[in-house]
């Protein structure tokens, strides 16, 4: 039987008195496009960092493509493409070299130029990444996440800091990867960007998964009309108690 792409059971993370993630139970099937949504500080990056073994849980378990993410790290990372929230480039290395490093690590045979073309960065292939703007760095990180045709693509806040062309490009990449058969799991606090691309969304608020489902199902649950946006759903679920500044529509 095909294991879920992501499965968590009671997954929790506490920093001192701060409960960043509170007993997360979540299952993402292989082939799904899952939007992991919530305001700043909800616990989205914490979840992704746990799944990628960048941090250890306080309690709970997780499986990534059937593997234990903390004890079977190499097998997990081999089949996962990650585009992190904050990406630091090697200033003196070219875009090509950044990609070659990932291609070598994953023992893949991708063409760096073809990957950079997918993210609109082919013209900068030989430029040192130290010269890149924030948006160019993000595009490079996205290209790196695509190396080796991953079974699971994890994108942490992929829309933040991108111009409208960049936002459309991320949407195109998500669609293309989904059509290829990959699972796409992305986090976003920019709720307005997700309606078009997700099969299912999970809404995280103060470390709790407060709702999960397809958008039509969530609209029904919240008694909202068929044109209600993710932001409308979010505001209804939180009784409008989220600070307006935390939710960028």
Ligand X SMILES: Nc1ncnc2c1ncn2[C@@H]1O[C@H](COP(=O)(O)OP(=O)(O)OP(=O)(O)O)[C@@H](O)[C@H]1O
Nearest CA to 171 among 156, 183, 159, 154?
Answer: 159
Do the beta carbons of residue 157 and residue 39 sit within 8 Å?
no
Do the beta carbons of residue 69 and residue 76 sit within 8 Å?
yes
Q: Is 20 in the site for ligand X (CB under 6 A)?
A: yes
Residue 66, judged by CB atoms within 10 A of its CB (0-12, 13-18, 19+), counts as middle
Measured CA to CA, the distance from residue 161 to residue 220 in angstroms comes to: 32
Q: Is 33 in the site for ligand X (CB under 6 A)?
A: no
- For ligand X, give the closer residue by CB, 27 or 40: 40
User: CB of residue 244 vs ligand X: minimum separation in angstroms?
Assistant: 15
**Binding window for ligand X (CB under 6 A); candidates: 37-45, 71-79, 92-100, 101-109:** 37-45
Q: Is 41 in the site for ligand X (CB under 6 A)?
A: yes
Site for ligand X in 66-85 (CB under 6 A): 85
Q: Is 46 in the site for ligand X (CB under 6 A)?
A: yes
**Binding window for ligand X (CB under 6 A); candidates: 43-51, 125-133, 211-219, 237-245:** 43-51
| Sheet containing strand 80-83, strands side by side | 80-83, 152-156, 183-188, 33-37, 200-205, 208-213
Measured CA to CA, the distance from residue 8 to residue 141 in angstroms comes to: 26
Do the beta carbons of residue 138 and residue 27 sit within 8 Å?
no
- For ligand X, give the closer residue by CB, 39 or 148: 39
Q: Is 38 in the site for ligand X (CB under 6 A)?
A: yes
- For ligand X, give the closer residue by CB, 40 or 94: 40
Q: Using CB under 6 A, pick the residue from 9, 10, 18, 25 that binds ligand X.
A: 18
Phi, psi dihedrals of residue 200, rounded to the nearest 5°: -145, 150
Q: Using CB under 6 A, pick the residue from 27, 30, 40, 94 that binds ligand X.
A: 40
User: CB of residue 242 vs ligand X: minimum separation in angstroms?
Assistant: 12
Site residues for ligand X per CB under 6 A: 15, 18, 20, 38, 40-46, 85, 157, 189
């Amino acid at each position: 039987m095909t294991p879920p792409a992501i499965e968590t059971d009671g997954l929790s993370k506490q920093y001192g008195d701060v409960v960043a993630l509170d007993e997360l139970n979540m299952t993402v099937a292989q082939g799904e496009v899952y939007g992991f949504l919530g305001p700043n500080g909800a616990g989205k990056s914490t979840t992704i960092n746990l799944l990628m073994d960048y941090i250890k849980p306080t309690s709970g378990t997780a499986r990534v493509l059937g593997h234990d993410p903390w004890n079977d790290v190499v097998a997990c990372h081999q089949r996962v493409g990650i585009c992190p929230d904050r990406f630091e480039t090697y200033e003196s290395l070219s875009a090509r070299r950044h990609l070659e490093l990932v291609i070598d690590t994953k023992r893949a045979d991708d063409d760096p130029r073809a990957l950079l073309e997918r993210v609109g960065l082919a013209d900068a292939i030989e430029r040192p990444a130290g010269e890149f703007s924030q948006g160019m760095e993000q595009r490079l990180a996205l290209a790196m996440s695509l190396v080796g045709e991953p079974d699971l693509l994890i994108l942490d806040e992929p829309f933040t800091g991108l111009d409208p062309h960049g936002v459309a490009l991320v949407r195109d990449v998500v669609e293309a990867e989904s059509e290829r058969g990959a699972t796409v799991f992305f986090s976003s606090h920019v709720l307005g960007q997700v309606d078009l691309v997700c099969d299912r969304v999970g809404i995280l608020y103060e470390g709790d998964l407060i709702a999960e489902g397809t958008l039509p199902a969530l609209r029904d649950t919240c008694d909202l009309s068929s044109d209600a946006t993710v932001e409308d759903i979010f505001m209804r679920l939180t009784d409008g108690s989220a600070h307006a500044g935390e939710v960028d529509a």
